[in-house]
Amino acid sequence: MHTANPWHVDLDTCAMEPIHVIGRIQSFGTLLSFSPDWIVNHAAQNCAPVFGRGARDLLGHSAASVLAADALHEIRSRAQMLGSPDAVERLFGLDLTGDGRRFDVALHHSGRSWVIECEPAGSGRQRDHVSLVRPMVERMRSAGSVQALCDLAARMMRGLTGFDRVKVYRFEPDGGGEVVAESAAGGIDSFRGLHFPASDIPAQARALYARNLLRIISDIDDPTVPIVPAQGPDGNPLDLSMSGLRAVSPIHIEYLRNMGVKASLSVSIMRRGKLWGLIACHHYAPLVLAYPVRTACELFGEFFSFLLEQAEDEAARQQHARAGRLHQEIMARIAGGATLLSAFEEFSEAIRDVIPHDGIAGWVDGQFLSRGSTPDREQFLDLALFLNTCGAGAVWATDAICAIHEPACRWGDAAAGLLALPVSRAPGDYVVLFRHEHVHDVHWAGNPEKSVEFGPNGARLTPRKSFAAWKQERRGHCRPWSADEIAAADSLRVTLLEVVLQLADAARSERARAAQRQDTLIAELNHRVRNILNLIRSLVFQSKASSDTIDAFAAIVGDRIHALARAHDQVTQANWAPASLHRLIATECSAYAAPGADGRARLAIEGPDAMLNPAAFLPLALVVHELMTNSCKYGAFSRAEGEVRVATLPRPDGGLDLRWSEHGGPPVAAPQRRGFGTAIITRTIPHELSGEAEVDFDPAGLRARFVVPASCIAGFDAGFDAGAPAFAPALAPAATGGGALSGLALVVEDNMLIAMEAEDLLRELGCARCELAGSVDGALALIARHDFAFALLDVNLGHETSGTVAEALRARGVPFAVASGYGEAEAVDPRYGGAPVVTKPYAAADLAAAVARSRA
């Protein structure tokens, strides 16, 4: 009779822990839950400071009696936008109770209830962290491999969040995982290359990561806050699966405490709807990350997932291309009269180039052939009988044949793993690739077999106390066959069966699936961006319909955003005073339309210049940008001889009559469908400025007329020369030998991402190493310790300026340049002594020119 072991701990108990209904939240925010008819049915016990009443006093009351009318209207409007059970809507800076206090709010479904979570919005000047994501993504596009992409993602996320350690963690098929990339502060032991067992992140936690893409733990010592009541009328606790404030399992808290971690952040990496891995962030002190920063992290994770899928798909495409070349080579030999038997050696060499192996053996038409390290004929015949039981319709692979086919242990010195390709429609004929045993060490973060102990939580899985590297020798296995190699083997099998049409159909199907996945992902990314951004949200969403590829989509949106940026520069350089319409038009022309072949200007502006109020400037910038880009694509500017004429005519009521006409371009026809660009041209001025817009698709050239109301016009200036616009982009002078860098450079910049970008640019210009400082004290300490060859100073360092640093550099004779997001106007402090200024964003050419000028 079998007696159960009373001390046995079933790992399934950890996997079944109901972490999504834990009944508590972290204390840096609070929570309310409403029934379908907007009656409070749950409340966090810390809600009184926000809503003026305790949790139990709120239960049963209507949302209208708890929330301000405007806040409730906004929340219910956003509830309408929740497109799926796992969707989360975000509202930033919302006045929840009408008393002027601002909160960042998340809204999501929980069963039939609506759940809002709120936390105080930051005070003072707020940085737009979401806007940092686009340049981060642009930098990651240049990564040449999956590993380089992961390394850069870890570095970028650490710069964005300020966590002490950021890891890119990839899950393995068994649920375990490996740290494949890491960025960590100095003095912290590295986890890179370490493996973690599946029990560290159990199955239900992985499932939750696949639904809720961001998880924050601000302080493991937070006592957390209970939700009242613990169960609803149906007897079930509130489901917190999509909660951003959800408290943490005591087991996971103990796990983090054993690692010495005080705060953590996890961002899910998804690939084709499945959890590929995590961007895992650790901090060794409590850290509350503002909701806008967390939102930017989640958006960054989604873009990283997309780029990762692209990179892995590119590697798969390259492997597929090699398999295709192998197919062509084999088919060419067959077309020349060769057979698999007669050209077996040549075939095996060609296969080795695509699928590395140590030996190859074949049984075809009753004949045995082998090359390299393989079983002998009798051993192979026994193996073939075993392979018949594995299914003859597909390739079959294992990295440890001895573990599942005991007779293979007798020839284990020849091979430890195999990849079998059936080459006949009926079982019996095979080509099999073999690999030697690969004895290697697996490095674990602590002993994985010590994960089950008895601790303060009773007879359950208790996290191990040590995460020091623990080495395990692995025997009886070959190097694993990768998914790409198995796919190549399957293509090879089809080739050997001469089913060429099947291969072509599979390729076409895969391309169609890839296109569908891309379309779906683009739509999802647009949905996320729509929840976060205001004006940019509309541009992204409306622009996607006219984009066939992600690159075209990014170009269109980028151009429109840059048009707004150029307009914004003109307004801000004038200190938000009225700005020139002529300059706006000329600047857009210089950005998109080159002069004619004879050097003549192709844009003519007639009439007095209109000085636009700032509120009208940005909408008109979008309209002019769309007119200019459409002309470059389809109109007058698409031909070298084409011209655009613009007339600005004052109206008797003080308004403006703006007329646009194109000449010398291709024939014009009205578009068959109304795109977003056309909507901007025809609707922006009427909708935002209460003006008028008319567009005539005259075959001889597009004509448009706009009426801008007097309220948008500050006045007219007849003296502006449109032929020499003050805001035309200046070309940075080419770097000369005098501007080349060497030695040590200093970058003083309070934004980590911009500092890292400057570091990379200075390295490109030749400096051997860069030191980074984010404050005056940090910069002065570095200057005292090092001899610098050049320095780049950001003027505004948060609550201080870098003028003192400039004085210290000048006293030591160190040349420097000033970087500013405000242009030349900010560097008038005499302590900078006329140092060259580079305006953000700057490129390598701008910086090279500044280096040269600083040494002149």
Q: Look up residue 454 and give its two tokens.
A: 């008895």
For 12-47, what is the HEC assignment? Answer: HHHHCCCHHHCCEECCCCEEEEECCCCEEEEEECCC
Q: Look up residue 374 and give its two tokens.
A: 């393989």
Going by C-alpha positions, the residue among 434, 43, 456, 518 that lies closest to residue 253 is 456
Q: How far is CA 459 from the centre of its chain?
A: 41
Element (H, E) at 846: helix 844-854
Element (H, E) at 720: none
Query: What's the Cα-to-Cα distance from 550 to each of 536, 622, 625, 674, 726, rounded to whole Å?
Result: 17, 22, 21, 21, 34
Whole-angstrom Cα distance, residue 757 to residue 543?
29
As beta bridge partners, residue 280 has: 167, 266
Q: What is the pLDDT of residues 156-215, one digit of tens each?
A: 999 999 999 999 999 988 888 889 999 999 888 888 888 888 888 888 888 999 999 999
Q: Look up residue 511 and give its two tokens.
A: 């391309």
Whole-angstrom Cα distance, residue 792 to residue 767?
12
- Cβ atoms of 514 and 549 within 8 Å: the answer is no
Q: How does 161-195 read in b/e, with b if 16+ C-beta sit within 10 Å? A: bebbbbbbbbbeeebbbbbbbbbbeeeeeebbebb
Whole-angstrom Cα distance, residue 436 to residue 413?
7
Going by C-alpha positions, the residue among 415, 468, 119 that lies closest to residue 294 is 119
Strands 609-612 and 656-663: unpaired
Going by C-alpha positions, the residue among 164, 145, 144 that lies closest to residue 154 is 164
User: How many CB atoms are closer than 10 A to CB 812?
Assistant: 12
Coil, helix or strand for 641?
coil
Strands 367-372 and 440-445: unpaired
- Cβ atoms of 648 and 658 within 8 Å: the answer is yes
Q: Look up residue 834 and give its two tokens.
A: 């006329």
Residue that is written with structure tokens 């899985």 in the block: 461
Length of the chain (residues) = 856
Query: What's the Cα-to-Cα distance from 421 to each of 303, 402, 561, rounded to whole Å?
Result: 38, 19, 53
Whole-angstrom Cα distance, residue 389 to residue 370?
22
Q: Look up residue 437 and give its two tokens.
A: 């045993």
Which residues of the chain, if any, have pLDDT below 50?
1-13, 450, 458-462, 466, 470-471, 499-507, 523-535, 538-539, 542, 571, 720-739
Q: What is the pLDDT of residues 20-38, one digit of tens each?
A: 678 999 999 999 999 999 9
